[in-house]
Structure 1
């Protein structure tokens, strides 16, 4: 739990206005979570801009860097650029509540806000579901196209004339 405190942003004692924070995100960061990672060798920077107001905080979290992914087609490793941004409003209330999408309520007695989960989500949202190496050969792309899902083209269906008569009746009323 102490390692999570490395990602606390202490806002009490700071003047109202904008404050910048930076976190280096590496393999140790992702080991804080009990999930299996789909990537290796993360080299990511999380730049956080906090705008402190009297009754709330605004956070803008930008993550940039690279991770190493395994191509779903060729099984080769490739570096994938990470770039994402999320904005979160933190307001004060009775107890912690993150049920709203872009608004988090923290107890009014708190003096710091932990951004570890927000950074994690920001990075994970940058990882594509389908991992395709940009280094695939023309042959690999041809095989992918040949065996990949086919796009269905909707053909204009001939309309039953009885429906046309009913439609005309409906339009008259």
Structure 2
């Protein structure tokens, strides 16, 4: 976690109320995580609003910017605008627990909260599963759909030799 220390938000000593933070997110940020990225050349700004209350913290994380993606159809690079909002409630307890989706528990003795993982997740969730360049025309997609294998709902007949082998296996 030491390499992510630059993304600590110190709440101890802050007054109750709204506090704003901003982080520039680039390639160096993603290199801090030991995962391969499906994008390159990230230029993203993370705007963080922390609303401090007496017994809990609210974080509103807004990421916006652009990354380079590789089109799944043409293998060409294209620039993709990313934007995502993530809201998280941080409450104090005995030990760190992030098993709930929108609530994170941190030890009551902590004086700072590291926001790096949440920024990372916010950006990664904004990347589409299917990456299609805006340069791909509707006609190209139609041709692709026409020649793509079709799923059929009818069952294919099973080779009787496989059925016999399956029966032998089931007996054992």
Q: C-alpha separation between the residues in 2 aligned to 1:124 and 1:107?
A: 27
Query: 1:1-173 residue pairs with structure 2 within 5 A?
Result: 1-148=1-148
Compute the displacement of 1:38 (Å): 0.3
Q: Tell me, in whole angstroms, the C-alpha distance in 2 between the residues paired with 1:149 and 1:122.
A: 34
**Structure 1: distance between partners of 2:89 and 2:58:** 5
Displacement of 1:115 in angstroms is 0.4
Aligned length: 153
TM-score, with structure 1 as normaliser: 0.84
CA distance in 2, matches of 1:61, 1:149: 41
SS at match of 1:132: coil
TM-score by length of 2: 0.84
Give the Cα separation in 1 of the matches to 2:150 and 2:113.
Answer: 48
- Any idea what SS the aligned residue of 2:121 has? helix
1 CA distance for matches of 2:138 and 2:107? 56
Q: Separation in 1 of the partners of 2:15 and 2:63? A: 25
SS in 1 for 2:49: strand
What stretches of structure 2 of length at least 5 have no aligned partner? 153-172
Question: Structure 1: any 5+ residue segments left out of the alignment?
Answer: 153-173
Q: CA RMSD in A?
A: 1.7
